[in-house]
């Protein structure tokens, strides 16, 4: 697909944490989870997410989980992609400030 957009990230969370955040991050859209593959119905298209738990990172005595997250958008225009990512980042972001 020529207009396919893929966003790849590493997140400091476990698979279980990610899946717990996902319903709110998806804005109530239908979610279908099969193993490490997730399908979300969004606006006029779909969002596919692939997740994989990686080796934890060690910073001194601190141990952080690492989850590989690849988000692929199908048939969503720039506005819909941007809106999805904004909501996704709001509900899955960790940090202080």
Domain ranges of the chain: 5-92
Fold of the domain spanning 5-92? Ribosomal Protein S8; Chain: A, domain 1 (3.30.1370)
β-pair type (45-59, 37-42): antiparallel
Please state the pTM of the whole predicted model: 0.87
Please report the pLDDT score of residue 93 as a whole number. Answer: 83
Q: Which of 95, 38, 33, 88 is nearest to 64 (CA)?
A: 95
Nearest to residue 45, comparing CAs of 84, 14, 97, 17?
Answer: 84
Identify the CA nearest to 9 among candidates 53, 68, 49, 84. 68
**How do residues 11-47 score in pLDDT, each as one tens digit?**
999 999 999 999 999 998 999 999 999 999 976 789 9
Half-sphere exposure of 4 (CA within 13 A, CB side): 9
User: Over the stretch 52-64, which tens digit does the pLDDT of each residue have?
Assistant: 999 999 999 999 9
Dihedral, CA atoms, 87, 91, 93, 97, nearest 10 degrees? 100
pLDDT of residue 94: 67
Structural contact between residues 32 and 42, judged by C-beta atoms closer than 8 angstroms = no
pLDDT in tens, 66-81: 999 999 998 888 998 9
């Amino acid at each position: 697909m020529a207009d396919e957009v893929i966003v790849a990230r590493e997140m400091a969370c476990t698979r279980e944490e990610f899946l717990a955040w996902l319903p709110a991050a998806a804005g109530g859209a239908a979610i279908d989870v099969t193993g490490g593959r997730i399908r979300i119905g969004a606006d006029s298209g779909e969002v596919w997410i692939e997740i994989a738990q990686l080796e934890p990172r060690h910073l001194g005595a601190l141990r952080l989980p690492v989850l590989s997250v690849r988000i692929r958008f199908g048939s969503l225009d720039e506005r819909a992609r941007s809106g999805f990512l904004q909501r996704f980042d709001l509900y899955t972001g960790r940090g202080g400030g």
